[in-house]
Chain A
Amino acid sequence: MSHPTLPSSITLEGVEFAYGPKLPTIIDIPSFELGAGESCFLYGPSGCGKTTLLGLIAGVLQARRGRVQVLGQELSALSGAKRDAWRGSNIGYIFQMFNLIPYLNVRDNILLPTRLHSSRKADELGRIAASLGIEELLDQGVLELSVGQQQRVAAARALIGAPPLVIADEPTSALDAAHRERFLELLLGQCKEAGAALLFVSHDQSLAPIFHKQLSLPELNRAAKVEVA
């Protein structure tokens, strides 16, 4: 299924951000667009404002200037609490590592978004777990899992309840090459099946080719201090 009513998943226009009035500008992006259901590789080495940008898109941070529209929603129009609820309902988020709540088992970790937001339904749990190869692990504690398994559980949690946008922040950097590829395939496949747009941020450019779209944050962000490699 897809979201034909949404012209784009993410639209940024003239977005500027700084952590304080006297602090340096960290984000200055004239324009960025991600279409509905598109998968995008965003090259983001450290120090180019990657975390800040994701905070803006997820509605944790607010732009000082410009327009941040995500899934057709103008984020500045929402109050803090509404933005939190909106994020939980519409965005699946995968961190680089330590994605899971240590005291919940695999099943409860995956189902957490569905418990926080009634719009995210739990009925796809079996299918998602099976397609990610973690259906055997559902009743295990998360501390018993390998890093690869943990990331797959995190992906399942991001995908449960079919959010229209999945943001993955370096989800593969803790995995070895073989697992990395397998994980990417699974993630892309699941996003495609759910019709969700995927914003995938990584510093590993070798992954870029399998995405619809490849962008580089240092090029997008005029405020980025590009490190000379």
Chain B
Amino acid sequence: MLLFSLAWQSLRNRRVTTLLTVFSIALSVALLLGVEALRVSARESFSSTISGTDLIVGARGGGLQLLLYTVFRMGTATNNVKYESFEEWSKHPAVAWTIPYSLGDSHRGFRVVGTNENFYKQYRFRKTRKAEFVAGRAPVEFNEAALGSDAAEKLGYKVGTKVTLTHGIGAAGIMDHDDKPFTVVGILDKTSTPIDRSIYITLEGMSAIHVGWQGGAPPEPGEEVPSTKLKKEDLKPEAITAFLLRAKSRIDTLRIQRDVNNYLPEPLMAIIPGVAMGELWSTVKYAEIALEIVGGFVVLVGLLGMLVAIYTTLNERRREMAILRALGAGPIKILSLFLIESLMLAASGCALGVGLMYAGIAALQGVVEKQFGLYLRWQGFQPEHGIYLGLVLGAAVLIGLVPAWRAYRNTLADGLSVRV
């Protein structure tokens, strides 16, 4: 107990150095835990992009590619799914619901997604959340569109704005569907998922903008079909890009997947989102490991600061050691005194670091979500965080052994005399 009180008073006596040391350890600990929270948040955010969907079905090809263009709106599909196939699977007795996606167009860099009302009703992310409208309603007519929140914000569109869609996914330009403008009827709430970065129209709308576009090129002048002449009934889609599927009972998922993969009328493939997401995430495993390594080194640097702070006091404290020695404190007690000082610095650093991490996350949460679409949150204390803090303290003791051992050697060499 005396050693603790001595260590405490000695640290308090060197207030400024102590505070700076504690603060530098705290910063490194906060960074370590913050990086950890970021890592888990990123994974959580990533894997909660889609929930409640049992299978994603698309034309046969790469599973990862299918996941990328349906869930993350990245890359393009090489083949379509016939609308009849989609209808057949939608009516399958074991299927609860389906959400069709018809992709391939864009508007000023935002992907256009043709879908139906199931998307607004059934699509889930972050476990149970769904896309809600902050303004307006879901598109019903073929010339109506809804905007994800990023798209609405960046483009500055409001309910009622007329929009011209672009064929393909390049910038606006020569292949504009300017013969058939759309009207914005709804704007979705922010979800911090790829939903925010898309524009939603009906499947009929998707067909409408491609009427007369045989061969993937705009209609010849004079062959344009003005939207006033189009009727919803004529716009039954011929194909979609992919669809999401939910089984009535999850037990059927694997059977449905097998059946889709063996579907005779056309070559299809079904992937389980969780499995595909896991595969995709494992490709960025290196980034995760790199983050962890960086976090570890940051802590090491913080603790080296502590080593320097204690070590530089050793010479001026030789007198103190000789006094303690004369008072009957053995070299082991002196070694312990230094170790306790290291431990106290590291422990207060850890405590302050945890506080800083909480404060930092609370302060940055909004900005990070807004800027990067990442919902940063602290997942609460897990056993591994205890292990991290334990490792920090353990490393502090190991590093603290350096000055402590030096003090021990000094004590033995100096005895009761000191060369000041």
Contact = CB atoms under 8 A, between A and B. Distances in A.
Interface of A: 51, 54-55, 58, 60-61, 80-81, 84-89, 93, 95, 98-104, 108, 112-113, 115-117, 157, 169
Given A87-B328, A93-B416, A116-B2, 20 more contacts: A55-B415, A55-B416, A61-B415, A80-B331, A84-B328, A84-B331, A85-B328, A88-B327, A93-B326, A95-B416, A98-B420, A99-B323, A101-B324, A103-B9, A103-B14, A104-B6, A104-B9, A116-B327, A116-B329, A169-B416
Contacts of B416: 51, 54-55, 58, 60, 93, 95, 169
B323 A101 contact: yes
Contacts of A169: 416
9 contacts: A51-B417, A54-B416, A60-B416, A84-B328, A84-B329, A85-B330, A104-B9, A112-B327, A157-B327
A217 to B, nearest CB: 15
Contact of A55 (B9, B327, B417): B417
B319 interface: yes
A169 B14 CA distance: 29
Size range of the chain B interface in the assembly: 20 to 34
Contacts of A102: 13, 320
A61 B415 CA distance: 8
A95 B13 contact: no
B111 interface: no
Residue of A60, A100, A117 contacting most chain B CB atoms (<10 Å): A60
B328 A89 contact: yes
Nearest to B317: A102
B128 interface: no
Interface string B1-37: 0100010011011100000000000000000000000
A98 B416 CA distance: 12
B325 interface: yes
B328 A95 contact: no
Contacts of B135: none
B323 to A, nearest CB: 6
Contacts of A60: 325, 415-416
A103 B9 CA distance: 6
Contacts of B6: 101, 104
A17 to B, nearest CB: 12
Contacts of B325: 60, 84
B287 interface: no
Interface string B206-235: 000000000000000000000000000000
Closest 8 pairs (CB-CB, A-B): A88-B328, A103-B13, A84-B330, A93-B326, A60-B415, A51-B417, A55-B415, A115-B2
A162 B320 CA distance: 23
- By secondary structure, the B interface counts as helix
Contacts of A84: 325, 328-331, 333
B332 interface: yes
B354 to A, nearest CB: 28
Given A58-B416, A103-B13, A95 B323 contact: yes
A93 B417 contact: no
Residue of B319, B322, B416 contacting most chain A CB atoms (<10 Å): B416
A116 B1 CA distance: 10
Contacts of B327: 88, 93, 112-113, 116, 157
Contacts of A100: 323
A101 B323 CA distance: 8
B411 to A, nearest CB: 9
Nearest to A157: B327
Interface in B371-420: 415-417, 420
Interface in B346-387: none
Contacts of B332: 81
Contacts of A103: 9-10, 12-14
B332 to A, nearest CB: 7
Contacts of B14: 103
Contacts of B329: 84, 88, 116
A108 B326 CA distance: 16
Interface string B306-348: 0000000000000110111111111111000000000000000
A113 B324 CA distance: 9
A119 B406 CA distance: 31
Interface in B80-138: none
Nearest to A54: B416
Residue of B324, B327, B415 contacting most chain A CB atoms (<10 Å): B327
Nearest to B14: A103
A169 B323 CA distance: 12
A145 to B, nearest CB: 15
A32 to B, nearest CB: 18
A99 B418 CA distance: 11
Nearest to A94: B326
A98 B319 CA distance: 7
A227 to B, nearest CB: 19
A159 B118 CA distance: 90
A104 B331 CA distance: 20
